[in-house]
Amino acid sequence: MKLIDCIKMAFGDLNKRKLRTILTSFGIAIGTMLVILMSGLGQGIQTISNDEMKQMDTFRIITVKPQQQVNKDETKDKKIDISTLNKFKNIKGVSNVLASINTTATEISLDNKSAKKIDVKGSNLNFPIFSDAEKNELKANKKKVKKYGSKEIIAGSNLKKDDKNSVLLGQGLLKKLGVTDYKNVIGKTVSLTVSFPKIQGMQEKAPLTLHLTISGVVNKGYSLGGYTVTTSDETAAQIQEYYMGSTNYINDKGYDSVSVECKTMADVTSVNNAITKIGYVTNSEASYADQSNTMLTILKVLLTAAGVIVLLVASIGVINTMSMAVHEKTKSIGIMKAEGASKKTIRRIFIVQSGSLGFVGGAFGAIIAVVLGLVINKVLIAYNVGGIEAGMKLVDIKPSIILFTMIFTIVVAMLAGIIPARKAAKLNPVDSLRFE
């Protein structure tokens, strides 16, 4: 008997026993639905999380500390100078290097207005001040873009290589000073004062005052857009030399804040290893992203496994249904054997019928899962549950999930039908013909 004939016979028999077919198919449908929904939920959670990680483009940035690892628990200071920065820049997979000297000023004065305890970031102007990763991350954040805009400089211009006596002021700092007309301050002189507190009995050191030209204003959406003054590394070195009572700070101490930006997330590990080989301690958030992705994959597997268990339980119903079918068709089996049907043919008939049950149940389960997935996504978007927005899918059902689950359901049903099919194949034709 050909396969197509077995399929026709199978659906004919299922149609004769509608209630039993519906009940058995319902159990299979529930299992199939859960497998697809749980897989879709796991896929949706992973996709949303990965998309959010992509927006966190700063995962491409490796922070390099001016230290070297002596042993497992001990580090010692190691200078990062210009030659070291160039070594970092030449590593394969590196797009940018950012280097600065971080310090503080006691006071800043502008147009008779002043503020105290100011963060000063002295950047090496041969390298970028803003990383591409931070720019991309801000652009991907719709709320921040709407509030602040996406340009790093909102008035004036960025510092150039020869702007050694110029500064960028954070938008937050200017607001603190009561300035809202940012364009009006461009080109003005700002004074940075550095001093030690007066201590009775100790000789007072004359304060250091630096008069610098305002080149631009930094968007508050950026890390430098707050209570920060950004200037050249030489200016920051002057402040550090005042505090330490030394000279030639850059050559002696080097840079205390260095970030290496990789071209892609895939480059982070190799670049990090290369920097470590040069002899520096590093810190990268990429490992956290990998761990998170692993955990999400495990969650997706566990959710899918829950649906698979229900589907396997439903397969017990297939065994019961097919056992009943064998019992009811005992005489028919005897007739087919008397006409020359082989054991293989008898087995095929009942295994195909089991597979047909799986197909019917799987089809209904898949339809229900897709409909429920659409409804769940629309409700979550409509009520903005958990920050789910238009274009996002918490239940992300891929066609491949449906196809795989359908095949798996049919295979499970066919395997469940093997025991009844073997029983049917072993029936004695004489006894079967006598069966009433």
d(CA 311, CA 315): 6
Residue 39 has pLDDT above 90, yes or no: no
List all residues 6 or more positions away from 344 whose beta carbon is below 8 Å from its beta carbon: 425
Q: How many beta carbons lie within 10 A of that of residue 400, not counting itself?
A: 10
What pLDDT, on a 0 to 100 scale, did the predictor assign at position 64?
Answer: 95
Q: Quick: pLDDT tens for 112-152.
A: 899 999 999 999 999 999 999 889 888 877 888 888 999 99
Q: How far apart, in Å, are the Cα atoms of 204 and each of 195, 198, 201, 239?
A: 9, 6, 9, 17
Q: Which residue has the higher pLDDT, 178 or 317?
A: 178
Residue whose pair of structure tokens reads 């209904």 in the numeric block: 364
Residue 290 has pLDDT above 70, yes or no: no
- Stretch (H or E) spanning 174: helix 171-176
194 DSSP β-pair partners: 208
Phi and psi at residue 247, to the nearest 5°: -130, 165
- Side chain identity at residue 278, one-letter code: I
74 DSSP β-pair partners: 71
Q: Taken in order 374, 376, 377, 383, is the CA torsion positive or negative?
A: positive
What pLDDT, on a 0 to 100 scale, did the predictor assign at position 303?
Answer: 76
Residue 172 has pLDDT above 50, yes or no: yes
Here the tokens at position 68 are 């070297």
Q: Which residue has the higher pLDDT, 182 or 201?
A: 182
Mean pLDDT to the nearest integer, 179-206: 88
Q: Quick: pLDDT tens for 200-213.
A: 766 788 999 999 99
Is the separation of the CB atoms in 357 and 14 below 8 Å? yes
Residue whose pair of structure tokens reads 């039993």 in the numeric block: 20
d(CA 304, CA 198): 69
What pLDDT, on a 0 to 100 scale, did the predictor assign at position 428?
Answer: 67
Residue 311 has pLDDT above 80, yes or no: no
Is the separation of the CB atoms in 98 and 261 below 8 Å? yes
